[in-house]
Amino acid sequence: MSIKKNEGGKAAFYRRIQHRIPKIRKERGQQEPAKGMRDRRLLWGIAAVAIVIVVLVILWAYSISQPKPERTVTDSNVRMELERLQGVNSEPKKINPADYPKTFGIYARNNLTLVEQYFCSDVCPDYGRVNLVFQGIDSEECANIGGKALHDLAWGGYIGCEPRVE
Protein backbone atom coordinates (compact mmCIF):
# COMPACT_ATOMS: atom_id res chain seq x y z
CA MET A 1 0.00 0.00 0.00
CA SER A 2 1.61 3.22 -1.08
CA ILE A 3 0.75 6.40 0.78
CA LYS A 4 0.92 9.67 -1.03
CA LYS A 5 1.38 12.75 1.11
CA ASN A 6 -0.70 15.03 -1.06
CA GLU A 7 -3.92 13.00 -0.80
CA GLY A 8 -5.70 14.69 2.11
CA GLY A 9 -2.83 15.85 4.30
CA LYS A 10 -1.82 14.57 7.72
CA ALA A 11 -5.32 13.59 8.86
CA ALA A 12 -5.78 11.26 5.90
CA PHE A 13 -2.30 9.80 6.45
CA TYR A 14 -3.06 8.97 10.08
CA ARG A 15 -6.46 7.47 9.18
CA ARG A 16 -4.78 5.19 6.67
CA ILE A 17 -2.14 3.86 9.05
CA GLN A 18 -4.36 3.70 12.17
CA HIS A 19 -5.44 0.11 11.48
CA ARG A 20 -1.78 -0.91 11.01
CA ILE A 21 -0.54 0.27 14.46
CA PRO A 22 -1.34 -2.99 16.34
CA LYS A 23 0.33 -4.96 13.53
CA ILE A 24 3.43 -2.72 13.65
CA ARG A 25 3.66 -3.14 17.44
CA LYS A 26 3.40 -6.90 17.10
CA GLU A 27 6.18 -6.94 14.48
CA ARG A 28 8.44 -4.93 16.80
CA GLY A 29 7.69 -7.12 19.80
CA GLN A 30 5.79 -4.42 21.67
CA GLN A 31 2.65 -5.21 23.58
CA GLU A 32 -0.60 -3.29 23.48
CA PRO A 33 -1.13 -1.43 26.73
CA ALA A 34 -3.69 -3.26 28.79
CA LYS A 35 -7.07 -1.54 29.02
CA GLY A 36 -6.89 -1.66 32.82
CA MET A 37 -3.53 0.10 32.75
CA ARG A 38 -4.95 2.91 30.60
CA ASP A 39 -7.87 3.28 33.01
CA ARG A 40 -5.50 3.37 35.98
CA ARG A 41 -3.40 6.09 34.35
CA LEU A 42 -6.53 8.11 33.69
CA LEU A 43 -7.58 7.78 37.33
CA TRP A 44 -4.14 8.88 38.54
CA GLY A 45 -4.30 11.89 36.24
CA ILE A 46 -7.73 12.86 37.51
CA ALA A 47 -6.57 12.41 41.12
CA ALA A 48 -3.51 14.61 40.52
CA VAL A 49 -5.64 17.37 39.00
CA ALA A 50 -8.10 17.13 41.92
CA ILE A 51 -5.25 17.43 44.45
CA VAL A 52 -3.87 20.49 42.66
CA ILE A 53 -7.32 22.11 42.68
CA VAL A 54 -7.76 21.42 46.41
CA VAL A 55 -4.34 22.91 47.20
CA LEU A 56 -5.11 26.02 45.13
CA VAL A 57 -8.46 26.49 46.89
CA ILE A 58 -6.81 26.18 50.30
CA LEU A 59 -4.11 28.70 49.36
CA TRP A 60 -6.73 31.09 48.01
CA ALA A 61 -8.84 30.82 51.18
CA TYR A 62 -5.78 31.33 53.37
CA SER A 63 -4.74 34.46 51.48
CA ILE A 64 -8.21 36.01 51.94
CA SER A 65 -8.30 35.63 55.72
CA GLN A 66 -5.57 37.95 56.88
CA PRO A 67 -4.53 37.48 60.48
CA LYS A 68 -5.75 40.12 62.91
CA PRO A 69 -3.16 41.80 65.11
CA GLU A 70 -3.23 40.46 68.64
CA ARG A 71 -1.27 43.23 70.28
CA THR A 72 -3.29 45.97 71.98
CA VAL A 73 -1.37 49.24 72.19
CA THR A 74 -1.86 52.13 74.58
CA ASP A 75 -1.06 55.83 74.34
CA SER A 76 2.39 55.24 75.83
CA ASN A 77 3.15 52.54 73.21
CA VAL A 78 2.00 54.88 70.42
CA ARG A 79 4.03 57.79 71.82
CA MET A 80 7.19 55.65 71.98
CA GLU A 81 6.64 54.38 68.43
CA LEU A 82 6.10 57.90 67.07
CA GLU A 83 9.38 58.96 68.70
CA ARG A 84 11.16 55.95 67.20
CA LEU A 85 9.74 56.77 63.77
CA GLN A 86 11.09 60.33 64.06
CA GLY A 87 14.57 58.79 64.28
CA VAL A 88 13.85 56.49 61.34
CA ASN A 89 12.56 59.40 59.27
CA SER A 90 15.62 61.53 60.04
CA GLU A 91 17.55 59.39 57.52
CA PRO A 92 15.04 58.62 54.75
CA LYS A 93 17.63 57.10 52.39
CA LYS A 94 18.08 54.22 54.85
CA ILE A 95 14.37 53.30 54.81
CA ASN A 96 13.55 50.22 52.77
CA PRO A 97 10.04 50.71 51.29
CA ALA A 98 9.70 46.96 50.81
CA ASP A 99 9.54 46.55 54.61
CA TYR A 100 6.17 48.34 54.79
CA PRO A 101 3.30 48.29 55.59
CA LYS A 102 3.68 46.68 59.02
CA THR A 103 0.87 46.09 61.47
CA PHE A 104 1.66 47.80 64.78
CA GLY A 105 -1.34 46.69 66.83
CA ILE A 106 -4.89 47.53 67.87
CA TYR A 107 -5.29 50.92 69.52
CA ALA A 108 -6.89 50.45 72.95
CA ARG A 109 -8.94 53.66 72.72
CA ASN A 110 -11.00 52.82 69.64
CA ASN A 111 -10.11 49.21 68.69
CA LEU A 112 -8.80 50.30 65.27
CA THR A 113 -5.73 48.74 63.68
CA LEU A 114 -2.58 50.87 63.54
CA VAL A 115 -0.09 50.28 60.74
CA GLU A 116 3.28 51.72 59.85
CA GLN A 117 3.27 52.68 56.19
CA TYR A 118 5.90 54.13 53.90
CA PHE A 119 4.98 57.24 51.93
CA CYS A 120 6.87 59.13 49.26
CA SER A 121 5.38 61.34 46.57
CA ASP A 122 7.88 63.79 45.16
CA VAL A 123 11.61 63.14 45.38
CA CYS A 124 11.93 59.49 46.29
CA PRO A 125 13.55 58.08 48.34
CA ASP A 126 15.14 61.34 49.55
CA TYR A 127 11.89 62.59 51.08
CA GLY A 128 10.19 59.30 51.89
CA ARG A 129 8.98 58.65 55.40
CA VAL A 130 7.22 56.11 57.60
CA ASN A 131 3.96 57.13 59.27
CA LEU A 132 1.92 55.43 61.99
CA VAL A 133 -1.71 55.60 60.83
CA PHE A 134 -5.06 53.92 61.32
CA GLN A 135 -5.74 51.31 58.68
CA GLY A 136 -8.54 52.09 56.23
CA ILE A 137 -9.58 55.46 57.69
CA ASP A 138 -10.22 58.26 55.19
CA SER A 139 -9.80 61.99 55.88
CA GLU A 140 -13.47 62.53 56.76
CA GLU A 141 -13.52 59.72 59.32
CA CYS A 142 -10.21 60.84 60.81
CA ALA A 143 -11.67 63.82 62.68
CA ASN A 144 -14.57 61.70 63.97
CA ILE A 145 -12.25 59.20 65.64
CA GLY A 146 -10.02 61.93 67.12
CA GLY A 147 -7.07 61.43 64.79
CA LYS A 148 -4.79 63.85 62.99
CA ALA A 149 -5.06 63.86 59.19
CA LEU A 150 -1.66 63.72 57.49
CA HIS A 151 -1.29 65.38 54.10
CA ASP A 152 1.53 65.32 51.58
CA LEU A 153 3.57 68.53 51.76
CA ALA A 154 4.45 68.44 48.07
CA TRP A 155 1.10 67.68 46.44
CA GLY A 156 -1.40 67.97 49.29
CA GLY A 157 -2.78 64.44 48.98
CA TYR A 158 -4.13 62.53 51.98
CA ILE A 159 -1.58 60.16 53.53
CA GLY A 160 -3.43 58.73 56.50
CA CYS A 161 -4.87 59.34 59.95
CA GLU A 162 -2.32 59.48 62.75
CA PRO A 163 -3.49 58.88 66.33
CA ARG A 164 -3.44 61.86 68.71
CA VAL A 165 -1.80 61.01 72.00
CA GLU A 166 -1.83 63.07 75.17
Note the pLDDT of residue 29. Answer: 65
R_g of the chain computed on alpha carbons: 33
What percent of the chain is modeled with pLDDT above 90?
A: 40
**Position 128: which residue type?**
G
pLDDT tens digits for 109-130? Answer: 898 999 999 998 878 878 889 9
What whole-number distance in Å separates Cα of residue 115 and Cα of residue 129? 13
Note the pLDDT of residue 88. Answer: 92
Q: Which own/partner contact pairs does 132-136 have at CB distance under 8 Å and 24+ positions apart?
A: 132/78, 132/81, 132/82, 132/85, 132/104, 132/162, 132/163, 133/159, 133/160, 133/161, 133/162, 134/107, 134/160, 134/161, 134/162, 134/163, 135/103
Q: Are 78 and 146 in contact (CB under 8 A)?
A: no
Q: Are 88 and 81 in contact (CB under 8 A)?
A: no
Averaged pLDDT score across all residues of the chain: 82
Note the pLDDT of residue 157. Answer: 87
Q: Is the entire prediction scored with pTM above 0.75?
A: no
Mean pLDDT across the stretch 35-51? 82
Q: Number of helices (H) and strands (E), helices first, in the chain?
A: 5, 6
